[in-house]
Amino acid sequence: MDNRVVITGLGICAPNGIGLKAFCEAMTDGVSGIRFRPELARLRFSCQIAGKPEVTESHLNRYFSPLQLRGMNASGLVYGAIAGTDAWKDAGLPMAEKERPDWDSGIIFGTGILGADKFRESILAIDQGNVRRLGSTAVMQVMASGISAYLGGILGSGNQVTTNSSACTTGTEGVLMGYDRICAGKAKRMLVGSCSDSGPYIWAGFDSMRILPRKYNDRPMEASRPMSATAAGFVPGSGAGALVLESLESAKARGAHIYAEVLGGTVNSGGQRGTGSMTAPNGEAVVRCIDSALRVSGVLASEIDTISGHLTATGKDAFEVANWCTALGRSGSDFPFINSFKSLVGHCLAAAGSIECVAAVLQLSEGKVFGNRNSEDLHPEIGALVSREKVPQRTMAVAPKTVIKASFGFGDVNACVIFRAFND
């Protein structure tokens, strides 16, 4: 397990930018992708805002053939195909030969619920006795592994091709799964990422739980307020992020551009014991996850420059920051910079980890620490733990060297990964 793993490609389909350039500019400038959604108002949702990638017909025609688009009604698959294909091209990698798979390249691309709209459409057709109208792509659009299977066919991957699913932890967990496979010498390259559907069938359950903000329908860009005293719940989002992980030996052999190095990380669970439940994290498990990620990566807590937190804009944000302080043994002005990208894209559920991993890596490659929108009224419990300047409101021209990214998901599951600026 001694192969070094680097990142050679990035792809993104996010509410505030489709494509790496647009996304990076939006993150740098603090541009929100959260909008009022008329269909949610029509369906009498309390929260009528969301983050949703603005995929145009031009995008669709660029990534799908007319035949592939026939009957297509799975937004998550569309987002994942865009992000995954872009990451592969960004890495300068060719598609496999027509007759021979690429045995050294695999895919781990996760999701939560895929093809909810297509599933509803299919159920209606079945109930009306129109089974033959389902179309030949119905199964691919509704099976969880449809996204990894689709990308596997596009790229011709001959190594492991699979889908993971761990709620909001999915994307970050997938990075670690791909990292482990390359470290073990079982693959040279792994396309990792995750995607999430858009729409009322995905977001309704959260609205019914009353954990989404209800008073910002006329001010959508102010609604997602991680670490704020006026945080009123997470804004639902969707999209996809993708990263190409590659052994350093392979990347060097082909002269690939390297964004950053993956140093390692850990996944664990709080067992829904103690403070943990289906919807809340066990604080001890979170601390153990962070501590283990540092240990297995050979990184000192003092080396962490920036934290990319989970931080959903709920009452648990202060609890999360307290766990970071405990795990790192740092507070006040000694605390690293910390940010939550959910202030700009919302909580993209199964896609959150991968979208936020892409943003975390961009901080290293761009030499910046992205700001936190809507954090001007810092939660007093957070202010008592860390200095105000450690929660930047605007992007800072501070070049981080080591970034730690964590995701904490429904079911009391955790993942933490550490990225470092590449230094040969």
Q: For residue 422, give both structure tokens.
A: 């590449």
**What is d(CA 297, CA 292) in angstroms, rounded to the nearest whole number?**
8
> How does strand 413-420 pair with strand 402-409?
antiparallel
> What are the residue boundaries of the structural domains of the chain, listed by start?
5-260, 264-420
- β-strand partners of 10: 243
What is the pLDDT at residue 270?
97
Q: Output the pLDDT for position 75.
A: 95
Which amino acid is located at 165 in the chain? S
CA distances from 109 to 22, 83, 201, 252, 256 (A): 23, 11, 22, 25, 22
Full-model pTM? 0.97
- pLDDT on residue 343: 98
pLDDT at 67: 84
What is the structure's pLDDT at 285? 97
Per-10-residue mean pLDDT of the chain, 424 residues long, equals: 90 98 98 98 98 96 88 92 98 90 97 90 87 81 93 96 98 98 97 97 96 97 98 98 98 98 98 95 97 98 98 96 98 98 98 98 98 98 98 97 97 98 92
Task: Give backbone dihedrals phi and psi of 354, rounded to 5 degrees, phi first.
Answer: -75, -40
Relative orientation angle of helices 146-155 and 75-90, to the nearest 10 degrees:
40
Check: CB of residue 121 under 8 Å from CB of residue 71: no
- Per CATH, the number for 5-260 is 3.40.47.10
Q: Radius of gyration over alpha carbons of the chain, in Å?
A: 20
Among 31, 27, 33, smallest CA distance to 369 is for: 27
Instruction: Just give the CATH number of 264-420.
Output: 3.40.47.10
Between CA 179 and CA 175 the distance in angstroms is 6
> Would the CATH topology of 5-260 be identical to that of 264-420?
yes
Q: How many CB atoms lie within 10 A of CB 154?
A: 18
Q: How far is it, in rounded angstroms, from Cα 395 to Cα 27?
A: 8
Q: What is the largest CA-CA distance in the chain?
A: 66
Spell 230-268 as b/e; 16+ CB within 10 A means b: ebbbbbbbbbbbbbbbbbbebbeeeebebbbbbbbbbbb
What is the pLDDT, as a whole number, of residue 356? 98
- Write down the pLDDT at residue 124: 86
Number of Cβ within 10 Å of residue 424's Cβ equals 8
Nearest CA-CA partner of 36 in 201, 216, 225: 216
